[in-house]
A and B are shown apart, each in its own frame.
Chain A
Amino acid sequence: MPLPTETLDITLLRNNKHEFILRCQRIIEIVVKHYMKTGMFAPTQFDDTVQTINEELINRLHRIEQNFNGSVLLNTYMNVVIRNICIRIHEKSRTEIKTEPLTDELIPHDHGNIHSLMFQDEYRRLAIVLKLYGAKQSKLKFCFKIYFRMPVTGLDVDSTFDTATGVEREYLLQHFGNTFDDTLEIDNFNILAPMMNKQERNNTTGSSLRRWTLEHLSRVIKLLNGTPPVKTHTKETVKILFEQFSR
């Protein structure tokens, strides 16, 4: 459930900086608590961190006012600015990741739903990561399906291979349309490679396509885990999330 925040606007920034800073407090609180959850700041550092962010923000307000070009939502922009300040504070202090017990405020009270909430959160994050692959998204999803041995649908084929003929479409569905647990991984990619080559006007091998898939799978895992890693995603957890994603 999104938490209500005040809407920020440039007129307020220009005319009433004090009120603008006050309205930023909710965002600062959300950002700092988020990074506390990841272990970047200890819960005992909360007040100090908020104070430091406010000081830096006040120093930067004039520059933000002059430079803000109005091309994005000011709320989002302030999230980026406050996040960057947090990262800088963390880098300056060079504190190690602290994993202190979660306070009542940080932990959901309905323990029965914790796993479900965490799953939903990670599922949403995977969906964003895949979205950020832009035009490569459909290729990546198709290759992940082959790697994870998940049956592909006609829709998957159509969204990935817009140059495929009816025969080629059937060929892919024949191989990958149902469970294909008994085939070798490399054979699956060898089947896929010519179709991908036709689509991308490329000349790559099944082995190279498999490497590409593994490379991107590890990049997705790294993104989900964060830098420094605060989660422990593996191929298996991504597979579970991806299965849900593909339903």
Chain B
Amino acid sequence: MPESIQFFTTGHLNEYGVSLVVDAVRLNRMDELPKKIVRHIEGCDQCKEQILQVTDLTVQQSLDQSTPHPYFDTHKKRSEFPIMWYRAAAVLAVALAGGITYYLLNQQQTSHQIDFTVHPPAIESTQTRTEDFFTATQNNLYADNFVPSPNLDDVIQSDFRSATIEVFSPNNGEFVHPPITFRWEHFDRPMKLKILTNKEITILTSIVTTNSFITTKKFEPGLYYWKLEADDELLYIGNFFVR
């Protein structure tokens, strides 16, 4: 079952999504919910509230557990079986390929004279392996720069939602290229603009008195957060990506 049918186009849970979570709460099967739903409700108070309200209603009603649940007992089991089959097939295929290779190598060794020539060490392949490792490590580091900060993401999703200031750019989650322009509505006090990495390390702080700020700073590719503060009060927090 595609997960999208549990979400409205607005990104919030629709009636099916809410019902599924309520069923999970009542049946104590939260661990079996689709990951996408769990991730969404973790940060969405609006959906949490709907779920809580519907649970308040349904706990007053009897729950028929005599029939299997259409998602947890039927759909999930159906979708788990092919995975198990795929896994079994993959193990068999590897074993078969190993067996054939072993057989062919044995055939070659018995049908040819033994080669006593000393071969030079396989420097190239070692280098390739080192490079592969290095590239993989670099890729991991690169990917690490895009991992969202749970703390800052929570604040972005929280209800205060920059009640005091409206921001025009960059939009949350936007991919930007330096020079980056930050624009917001007029504010009558000087503010502090901060840019932070996804590890919550502040890499730029500037006092701003107008309604925009441009930085030509070179950013490593990754996810960044930016804040507007006045008198130590957080007015806005948003994020953007640099490719």
Chain A interface residues toward B at CB < 8 A: 2-5, 7, 26-27, 30-31, 34, 69-73, 75-77, 79-81, 83-84, 124-125, 128-129, 131-136, 200-204, 208-209, 212, 215-216, 219, 222-223, 226-227
**8 extra A-B contacts, CB within 8 A, seeds A79-B61, A134-B41, A201-B147:** A5-B62, A79-B58, A83-B53, A135-B38, A202-B151, A204-B200, A216-B154, A219-B158
- A sample of 23 cross-chain residue pairs with beta-carbon separation below 8 angstroms, ordered by A number, consists of A2-B62, A70-B70, A71-B16, A72-B23, A72-B71, A75-B64, A76-B23, A77-B19, A79-B57, A81-B15, A125-B52, A125-B56, A128-B51, A128-B55, A132-B41, A132-B42, A132-B52, A134-B41, A202-B151, A202-B199, A203-B199, A215-B158, A222-B45
Best-buried of A7, A81, A132, A208 by chain B (most CB within 10 Å): A132
Known: A5-B61, A72-B19, A77-B16. A135 touches B42 (CB 8 A): yes
Q: Which residues of B44-83 are within 8 A (CB) of A? A: 45, 48-64, 69-71, 75
When distances are taken between beta carbons in the complex, the residues of chain B under 8 Å from A129 are 48, 52
Q: Are B54 and A80 in contact (CB under 8 A)?
A: yes
How many angstroms between the C-alpha atoms of A219 and B54 in the bound complex?
Answer: 18
Specify which of B23, B25, B48, B200 is in contact with A208 (CB 8 Å cutoff): B200
Q: Are B49 and A227 in contact (CB under 8 A)?
A: yes
Interface size (B, Cβ < 8 Å)?
51
Q: Are B201 and A203 in contact (CB under 8 A)?
A: yes
Q: Give the A-B pair count, Cβ closer than 8 A.
A: 139
Specify which of B6, B54, B155 is in contact with A215 (CB 8 Å cutoff): B155
Is B228 an interface position by the 8 A CB rule?
no
Q: Are A136 and B49 in contact (CB under 8 A)?
A: no
Q: Are B38 and A226 in contact (CB under 8 A)?
A: no
A79 CB to closest chain B CB (Å) equals 5
Known: A77-B16, A134-B30, A208-B200. A71 touches B75 (CB 8 A): yes
Specify which of B51, B56, B62 is in contact with A4 (CB 8 Å cutoff): B62
Specify which of B39, B61, B199 is in contact with A75 (CB 8 Å cutoff): B61
Is B169 an interface position by the 8 A CB rule?
no
When distances are taken between beta carbons in the complex, the residues of chain B under 8 Å from A77 are 15-16, 19
How many angstroms between the C-alpha atoms of A4 and B20 in the bound complex?
Answer: 21
Known: A72-B70, A204-B200. A223 touches B48 (CB 8 A): yes
Q: Are B61 and A202 in contact (CB under 8 A)?
A: no
How many angstroms between the C-alpha atoms of A80 and B23 in the bound complex?
Answer: 11
Q: Are A76 and B45 in contact (CB under 8 A)?
A: no
Specify which of A2, A71, A80, A227 is in contact with B71 (CB 8 Å cutoff): A71
When distances are taken between beta carbons in the complex, the residues of chain A under 8 Å from B71 are 71-72
A91 CB to closest chain B CB (Å) equals 14
Known: A31-B57, A73-B69, A79-B54. A203 touches B200 (CB 8 A): yes
Closest to A26 in B: B61
Is B114 an interface position by the 8 A CB rule?
no
Best-buried of B19, B55, B63 by chain A (most CB within 10 Å): B19
When distances are taken between beta carbons in the complex, the residues of chain A under 8 Å from B59 are 2, 124
Closest to B64 in A: A7
Specify which of A76, A212, A222 is in contact with B54 (CB 8 Å cutoff): A76
The 9 lowest CB-CB distance pairs between A and B, nearest first, are A72-B19, A76-B19, A5-B61, A134-B38, A134-B42, A77-B19, A203-B199, A2-B62, A80-B15
Known: A80-B18, A132-B48, A216-B154. A30 touches B61 (CB 8 A): yes
How many angstroms between the C-alpha atoms of A187 and B160 in the bound complex?
Answer: 27
When distances are taken between beta carbons in the complex, the residues of chain A under 8 Å from B23 are 72-73, 76
How many angstroms between the C-alpha atoms of A215 and B158 in the bound complex?
Answer: 8
B92 CB to closest chain A CB (Å) equals 33
How many angstroms between the C-alpha atoms of A79 and B62 in the bound complex?
Answer: 13
Q: Are A133 and B42 in contact (CB under 8 A)?
A: yes
Q: Are B149 and A202 in contact (CB under 8 A)?
A: yes
Q: Are A131 and B25 in contact (CB under 8 A)?
A: yes
A187 CB to closest chain B CB (Å) equals 19
When distances are taken between beta carbons in the complex, the residues of chain B under 8 Å from A71 are 1, 5-6, 16, 20, 70-71, 75
Q: Are B25 and A128 in contact (CB under 8 A)?
A: yes
